[in-house]
Structure 1
Amino acid sequence: MDPATLADRRRRRLLIATIAGGIVLLLLVGVGIYGLLRGPAPRTDTTPADSPSSTVTAPPIGPSREGPVAVPQVGGPEAFARAVAGALFTWDTTTGHRPSDYAQMLADVAADEEAAALGGDVRAYLPTVEAWGQLRPYQTRQWLTIDQVVVPDAWETAVAQAAPAQIPEGTVAYTIDGTRHRDGTWGTEPVEASRPVSFTVFAVCTPPVPGRGSPGLCELLRLSQLDNPLR
């Protein structure tokens, strides 16, 4: 392996690890905003909506029922972040797939050095196997609508104040604000519920190489804790 490439990977691994522990960026940015990469506690909700009081009787809405969809790695970093967000929140208990099948779509685009830690991040967003089994009789499905995708100020500040080569070239962070939707059936009635969500996607992208047929590829590094993004 090229020594420069190996050095970049080591720097990136160190960067993400220290973000997770809340040390380096605490010093760089000057505010205590991290510990963010631990991932949210596993969700234990077992109804198609957040609570009976938040449901409304309505025809099911949302995307067509389908199984896991591959995450495209081309198109640039923002397009990649949007695709990751869609894969993270879109699932359907009626397709015969399991949470691990949806998680695999994100594992397939993970950067090698962060794959194990990313797996924990992704699992924290998905229902447990037990919750999945309880959701299936309600024909529950979930999807995300995105309101905005921005590079957070905290990340820009960190990049500006980082030492040379501390943050490897191509490393990016996008904070996504959107609405999580669920629908299904409660008894014989269709129900639907939604709530706002926010999170940050960390990725590394290589630029396209004109004339060489290389479109540039993105890999997923980590995910922030749900509803505790960088701002």
Structure 2
Amino acid sequence: MNSTDVSRSCRRLVVLISAAVVVLLLVGVGVYGLVAGPRTTSDPPPAPSSPTAPTEPTRGPRELAPISETDDPEEFARTVAEALFGWDTTSGLMPLDYTSVLLAVADPSGVEQAGLASDIAGYLPNRDTWVELRKYSTTQNLEITDVFVPEAWAEAESQAQPGQLAPGTTAYTVEGVRHRQGVWNDEATSSAHEVAFTIFLTCPPDGAPCFLLRLSVLDQPLR
């Protein structure tokens, strides 16, 4: 499939998903995130009476590892999920650095890039929050507990007209536990919060690497 075909298929995907919203809502499935983008849900922790002084990096920002290429959709979904939730405010990096890693495996036609960037912003702290979290040496990672193709995706596929979805396009819902660690009042602390979300991706049947299309609203996955 050439870039023109991919671009056309991605546009059709957006139209299909928008048209399918009413149908899917009737069976209790929301795909609002693909239309409007996720809400920002990363809030700073409550400030203690005497925050730990921020630790200034003694070296330059570390380089983030790219997302490994694969033609396995579940493996790709897992890797994207871990990259989406894995960050370290003491690394010398900023949220845009983590966003860039995800955009590097986005729809190669560029059609979905702006929407995907907006989706990712709903999962990462904004710049001001990041600076605040850095005062507490905050890090985050995701413990994945389940990854599956939601039943609602099968219904969306059944509503599609021939050629409306690019071959290899699918959705994976990821369930897991978001872990945060940090230092408050010179003491290590941590928190855990269950999360769920859906990743929309395409793995071309010709064996080309999978690429990322969009993300659902955090905690509003397809089921």
Alignment check: 8 A CA contact 1:67 1:92 kept: no
Partner of 1:116: 114
> CA separation in 2, counterparts of 1:218 and 1:79?
10
Partner of 1:92: 88
Alignment check: 8 A CA contact 2:71 2:203 kept: no
Alignment check: 8 A CA contact 2:167 2:205 kept: no
1:79 is paired with a residue whose SS is helix
1:113 is paired with a residue whose SS is coil
Match of 1:224 among 201, 210, 216: 216
1:217 is paired with a residue whose SS is coil
Identical-residue share of aligned pairs (%): 42
Offset from partner CA, 1:140-175 (integer Å, 9 cap, x none)? 000001001000000012213322222221101000
Tell me the number of residue pairs that the alignment of Structure 1 and Structure 2 aligns: 206
Alignment check: 8 A CA contact 1:28 1:161 kept: no
Alignment check: 8 A CA contact 1:207 1:217 kept: no
How far the C-alpha of 1:35 sits from its partner, in A, is 1.5
> CA separation in 2, counterparts of 1:73 and 1:151?
20
User: Following superposition of structure 1 onto structure 2, how do residues 12-161 of structure 1 map, counting pairs within 5 Å?
Assistant: 12-19=10-17, 21=18, 23-27=19-23, 30-31=26-27, 33-37=30-34, 38-43=36-41, 45-47=43-45, 68-111=64-107, 112-161=110-159
Alignment check: 8 A CA contact 1:121 1:223 kept: yes
Superposed CA RMSD in Å reads 2.3
TM-score, scaled relative to structure 2 = 0.84
Alignment check: 8 A CA contact 1:68 1:91 kept: no
> CA separation in 2, counterparts of 1:197 and 1:87?
15
TM-score, scaled relative to structure 1 = 0.81
Runs of 4+ in 1 over 4 A off after TM superposition: none
Label 1:122 to 1:28 Cα distance change in 2 as closer, same or farther (>3 A): closer
> CA separation in 2, counterparts of 1:97 and 1:144?
19
1:181 is paired with a residue whose SS is strand
How far the C-alpha of 1:51 sits from its partner, in A, is 9.3
Q: Answer with 188-197 or 159-168: which moved more.
A: 159-168
How far the C-alpha of 1:7 sits from its partner, in A, is 4.0
